[in-house]
Amino acid sequence: MRIELNVNGVTRTLNVEPRTTLLDCLRDALDLKGAHAGCEHGVCGACTVLFDGVAVRSCLMFAAQAAASAITTIEGVTPGPGELSLIQDAFCETHGLQCGYCTPAMIMVAHALLADNPEPTREEIVDAISGNICRCTGYAQIVEAIALAAERMRGVNRPRSLNK
Amino acid sequence: MKAAAFEYCRAADIDEACGWLAADDGARVIAGGQTLVPMMVMRLARPTRLIDINRIAALSYIRKDGDGVAIGATTRQCVVERDATVAAELPLLARAVPWIGHSATRARGTIGGSLANADPAAELPLIAVTLDAVLSYRAGGKTGTMPAHEFFVGAMVTALPEGACLTSARFPVWKGEKIGIGFHEVNARRSDFAFVSAAAQVELGADGKCKRIAIGVGAATDFPMRLEAAEKQLTGTALEPKAVDTAVRGALAGIEPLSDLHASADYRQRAAVSLAIRAVADALSDAKGKKTHAH
């Protein structure tokens, strides 16, 4: 069936089978490999993307259902080619990624969290990533990365005179 | 992990969805899909046609409805989680919703989908039974209603008539001054399937005695149960710990709990007793903490 999909600000018309998940459509039809296929049944969270700004599992919906909604993948969060978003940068700086398999999804969750809550507590960060499994078990640095990103985002456009 | 082929159709209104549902034995309604899609990719479910009701705007709402609050079937769980009316009028529901899955699944999962799916471990059926919610459905151009305690009849089995689609759940609001709630759940990790869950809501009278009480236990048996015998015994008492213990133990004495690799029947029985007692204790202290408003 023909569907119109808006991904990272670009609308494309695609031909998909009804049974094609949003995840498979992103990876195979649009060649956006950043959303990862982990468990493919909603347990691991590696396929998380933003659906109208909210973090959802792209393996748990069909591409046909996503028509007329705005989807953002990890490829859509960078300010420009070869650059990193503030959150991606914080993950590098705190060693918030090891093998990297869970990382795009962790970053999408962080984007959704920080857009909604600029000053999350540690508990709120932990709760936000609780649906995402890191098989390297590097959770401590991931939490640290999100906390650092939050701090930096709060500091954006802040007059220097207010900094201690 | 790919679903079997099916036809996809998006319903513009509920009667169109019901028409398609009645016309095809293999058709299934998809709302949030957070249970149905995993079932489909594991080929445990092979619908020939998926009827998508997500875009029926008229099914997504939370509104005061007389002495209750009505919630439309496709209202997302994350919306209920943050809703001010739910927080104020249905505190027990507000308390339980964060226990459903993860935030990413609550972003898609719906109220009606979870109720119609009737998983024994799900939180929403437990709250619906505990609060005496009334469920509405549509079939053949007609609207029907059913109390929650008649709706759930087995594990993943409901009394919803053939070809019917759930449209809303109406939760009665308790109007008293001193109303308290308690909710407890045990699982392997937060947001996993519950082994046992328990919910309680208490209204205290001016004399501090229990005027009204509802106690529900979920995940222990095929579908949520009310501890009616205990409720009867405890109404009019001061909810002394000993009396609560005896009443809850008595009400749960004859149940036949589920048993699996994670939690044996014996464990579920003991956990059900403990959690129900804790839920009542929490509800009591919550109700006692409420200030009496001057009218």
Q: CATH 1.10.150.120 in chain A: give the residue spans.
A: 86-159
Segment B103-112, tens digit of pLDDT: 999 999 999 9
- Taking the CA atoms of A44, A46, A49 and A55 in sequence, report the sign of the dihedral they define: positive
Tell me the two tokens of residue B152: 């759930």
- Model confidence, pTM: 0.94
* Three-state DSSP class for residue B230: helix
CB contact under 8 A, A19 and B38: no
Angle CA B248–B251–B256, to nearest 5: 120
Closest-CA residue of B relative to A23 is B2
Domains of chain B: 7-52 (3.30.43.10), 57-172 (3.30.465.10), 178-288 (3.30.390.50)
Which residues in chain A are closer than 8 Å to B38, comparing Cβ atoms?
Answer: 41-42, 60
H or E segment and range at residue B91:
helix B91-96
- Judged against a pLDDT cut of 50, whether residue B294 lies above it is answered with no
Can you give the pLDDT at residue A162?
72
| Mutation for testing the A interface, residue in B108, B110, B114, B117 having most A CBs under 10 Å | B108
- The pLDDT-based confidence of A156 (bands split at 50, 70, 90) is confident
CB contact under 8 A, B37 and A61: yes
Closest-CA residue of B relative to A1 is B8
- The pLDDT-based confidence of A61 (bands split at 50, 70, 90) is very high
Q: CATH 3.10.20.30 in chain A: give the residue spans.
A: 2-76
- The pLDDT-based confidence of B128 (bands split at 50, 70, 90) is very high
The predicted model gives B74-78 an average pLDDT of 98
The residue among A2 and B291 whose pLDDT is bigger is A2
Distance CA A10, CA A53 (A): 15
The predicted model gives B273-283 an average pLDDT of 98
Picking from B34, B40, B104, the nearest residue to A48 by CB comes out as B104
Distance CA B242, CA B277 (A): 10
Which residues in chain B are closer than 8 Å to A2, comparing Cβ atoms?
Answer: none
CB contact under 8 A, A60 and B105: yes
Beta bridge partners of B226: B216
B contact set with A (CB within 8 A):
1-8, 10, 30, 33-34, 37-38, 40-42, 50, 52, 54, 78, 101-105, 107-108, 190-191
For chain A, what percent of residues have pLDDT higher than 90? 90
Q: Name B181's Cβ contacts closer than 8 Å, sequence gap at least 6.
A: B91, B92, B95, B199, B200, B201, B202, B282, B283, B286
The predicted model gives B171-195 an average pLDDT of 92
Segment B35-66, tens digit of pLDDT: 999 999 999 999 999 999 999 999 999 999 99
Segment B194-207, tens digit of pLDDT: 999 999 999 999 99
Q: Which amino acid is at B140?
A: G
**Nearest partner of B55 among B13, B108, B22, judged by Cα:** B13
Picking from A18, A45, A130, the nearest residue to B7 by CB comes out as A18
Picking from A17, A24, A56, the nearest residue to B104 by CB comes out as A56
- Judged against a pLDDT cut of 70, whether residue B159 lies above it is answered with yes
CB contact under 8 A, B6 and A61: no
H or E segment and range at residue B150:
helix B148-151
Closest-CA residue of B relative to A39 is B1
Segment A90-146, tens digit of pLDDT: 999 999 999 999 999 999 999 999 999 999 999 999 999 999 999 999 999 999 999
Angle CA B36–B57–B127, to nearest 5: 55
**For the complex shown, is ipTM > 0.90?**
yes
- The nearest CA of chain A is from the CA of B45 a distance in Å of 13
Superfamily of domain A86-159: [2Fe-2S]-binding domain (1.10.150.120)
Contact at 8 Å (CB) between B229 and B250? yes
Superfamily of domain A2-76: Beta-grasp domain (3.10.20.30)
Q: Give the mean pLDDT of chain B.
A: 95
- The nearest CA of chain A is from the CA of B263 a distance in Å of 20
Picking from B78, B108, B191, the nearest residue to A60 by CB comes out as B108
For chain B, what percent of residues have pLDDT higher than 90? 94
- Judged against a pLDDT cut of 60, whether residue B77 lies above it is answered with yes
The predicted model gives B280-289 an average pLDDT of 96
For chain A, what percent of residues have pLDDT higher than 70? 99
Q: Name A112's Cβ contacts closer than 8 Å, sequence gap at least 6.
A: A50, A53, A54, A55, A128
